[in-house]
Amino acid sequence: MNILVINCGSSSLKFQLIDSETEKCIAKGLCERIGIEGSQITYAPANGEKEEKLISMPDHTEAIRLVLEALTNEKTGVVKSLSEIDAVGHRIVHGGEKFAVSTLINDEVMKAIEECNDLAPLHNPANLIGIRACQALMENTPMAAVFDTAFHQTMPAKAYMYGLPYEYYEKYKIRRYGFHGTSHSYVSKRAAQFLGEDYNHMKIIVCHLGNGASVSAVKNGECIDTSMGLTPLEGLIMGTRSGDMDPAIIEFLAHKENKNIDEIMNILNKKSGVYGLSGNISSDFRDLEKAAADGNEKAKLTLDAFDYRVAKYIGAYVAAMNGVDAICFTAGLGENGSTTRERICNYLGYLGIELDSEANAKRGEDIVISTKDSKTKVLVIPTNEELAIARETSLLINAK
Ligand code: AMP
């Protein structure tokens, strides 16, 4: 079965066509600056040349039309016609409490996703636009919704409730939801499989360290806690997001800087994190590592603060699970940042962790980076959210 995976943002759209039998990516690409001047489509068939084309994309329907045109193009396409695309899997950011699992899309599901718009005002409306654009162009193709929040729905109430008046949970569903669920699920399952152990009898901590970053505690195959909250702002210090902080800072800053709530939230989401803390050096850890190596004190402090926060979350989740069998690193920094992994593991001697420096220097493969004698296993598992979405979609279609 050929499954088109769509990850639709407010002005961008990532896509991958995946053969669900071989689990190979047939083609992938990206539409950027949708609805903005200078829009561009990048298309890369697995067995051909990557193409980049500047082309007007006034809306997402046009972007999807161009994606489908690229996939079916006579010369560079990978399928002869749209009938060879058997299903579409959509990444949906927020499923609220309604969606604990992926689901086939129908009118009722669309309505329920729309009801979660309040919880993810930047993401869910864009995800819905992506679904509608596909429906308009591929009328009879079945589609599935795979939610970033679903994997975390197994968290117990003691982990997801905030210390706020209960009525806000009842009225507005204010609670912790967690994100990157597709990645945490994929990586934790893969780690158990790679180690040849039973997923349902393991305690696993997944550190998804990318531009957005989160940690999760997965006990006996279920997520029991994760670092992101109502929104992706909570938890680790991220590329540009602050992560955990005293909420009173919002009022303090608003008064001192004479800014309104929207302006403060923009600072917390876009101008903070390692970018802000480093004095605007960069949100990219490669730049920060370089600046730190060149002796920049703010860059050093930023990396220290980032690593320390990750190590603290790991400690908290060891306590939450009363132990840990495996710690996994994934996403851009988790997969590539060998020095970050080493510095974080330096905090974890109490878990009997010893890193194998040769294995830690490798890249691009599932690998155990702890020594044979290490009491807790440490792994790098490259995440593959698109494949996870394709798998979920294929399961739903086959179960129809
Ligand atoms: P992601 O959001 O998963 O695409 O991850 C993006 C982040 O990964 C970037 O902001 C970089 O800081 C980080 N990253 C990517 N490659 C490397 C690398 N070779 N070394 C350190 N960090 C990296």
pLDDT value of position 294: 98
What would the pLDDT profile of 131-174 be if each residue is shown by its tens digit? 999 999 999 999 999 999 999 999 999 999 999 999 999 999 99
**2-147 falls under which CATH superfamily?**
ATPase, nucleotide binding domain (3.30.420.40)
286 CB within 6 A, ligand 1: yes
336 CB within 6 A, ligand 1: yes
pLDDT value of position 335: 97
211 CB within 6 A, ligand 1: yes
In Å, the largest CA–CA distance within the chain is 61
Arithmetic mean of pLDDT, 182-209:
98
Percent of the chain with pLDDT over 90: 98
Cβ contact 140:170 at 8 Å: no
pLDDT value of position 232: 94
Q: Is 287 a catalytic residue?
A: no
Q: ∠ CA(391), CA(393), CA(394), 5° rounding?
A: 65
- Cα torsion through 374, 307, 323, 214, rounded to 10: -120
Closest-CA residue, ligand 1 atom 8, reads 332
Arithmetic mean of pLDDT, 339-343:
98
Closest-CA residue, ligand 1 atom 9, reads 284
Residue 122: which pLDDT band, with cuts at 50, 70 and 90?
Answer: confident
Residue 129: which pLDDT band, with cuts at 50, 70 and 90?
Answer: very high
pLDDT value of position 18: 98
pLDDT value of position 121: 86
Arithmetic mean of pLDDT, 240-254:
98
Question: Taking 90 as the threshold, does the pLDDT of residue 30 lie above it?
Answer: yes
For 180, counting Cβ atoms within 10 Å of its Cβ (0-12 exposed, 13-18 middle, 19+ buried), the class is: buried
Ligand 1 site-directed mutation target among 285, 329, 344, 363, most atoms within 8 Å of CB: 285
Ligand 1 site-directed mutation target among 214, 333, 338, most atoms within 8 Å of CB: 333
382 CB within 6 A, ligand 1: no
pLDDT value of position 10: 83
The amino acid sitting at 276 is: G
306 CB within 6 A, ligand 1: no
Does the domain formed by 198-385 have CATH 3.30.420.40? yes
179 CB within 6 A, ligand 1: no
Measure the CA–CA gap between 17 and 75, rounded to whole angstroms: 17
The answer to whether the pTM exceeds 0.85 is yes
232 CB within 6 A, ligand 1: no
Q: Which of 59, 118, 148, 284 is catalytic?
A: 148
Atom of ligand 1 nearest to the CA of 283: 10
The SS3 assignment for 147 reads strand
For 289, counting Cβ atoms within 10 Å of its Cβ (0-12 exposed, 13-18 middle, 19+ buried), the class is: middle
Q: Quote the ligand 1 centre to 275 CA distance (angstroms).
A: 13
How many CB atoms sit inside 10 A of residue 79's CB?
17
Domain ranges of the chain: 2-147, 198-385
Range scoring the smallest mean pLDDT among 39-53, 111-125, 211-225, 305-319:
111-125
Two domains, one topology: 2-147 and 198-385: yes
Q: Quote the ligand 1 centre to 214 CA distance (angstroms).
A: 14
333 CB within 6 A, ligand 1: yes
pLDDT value of position 134: 94
pLDDT value of position 400: 83
239 CB within 6 A, ligand 1: yes
Residue 228: which pLDDT band, with cuts at 50, 70 and 90?
Answer: very high
Q: ∠ CA(273), CA(382), CA(290), 5° rounding?
A: 45
Closest-CA residue, ligand 1 atom 19, reads 336
Atom of ligand 1 nearest to the CA of 212: 2
The phi, psi pair for 102, rounded to 5°, reads -70, 160
Closest-CA residue, ligand 1 atom 21, reads 337
What does the mean pLDDT of the chain come to? 97
Question: Taking 90 as the threshold, does the pLDDT of residue 273 lie above it?
Answer: yes
Tokens representing 329 are 């690193």
Across the chain, the runs of DSSP E, i.e. the strands, are 2-8, 13-19, 24-32, 40-45, 51-54, 87-92, 103-104, 143-147, 203-209, 213-219, 222-226, 326-330, 367-368, 377-380
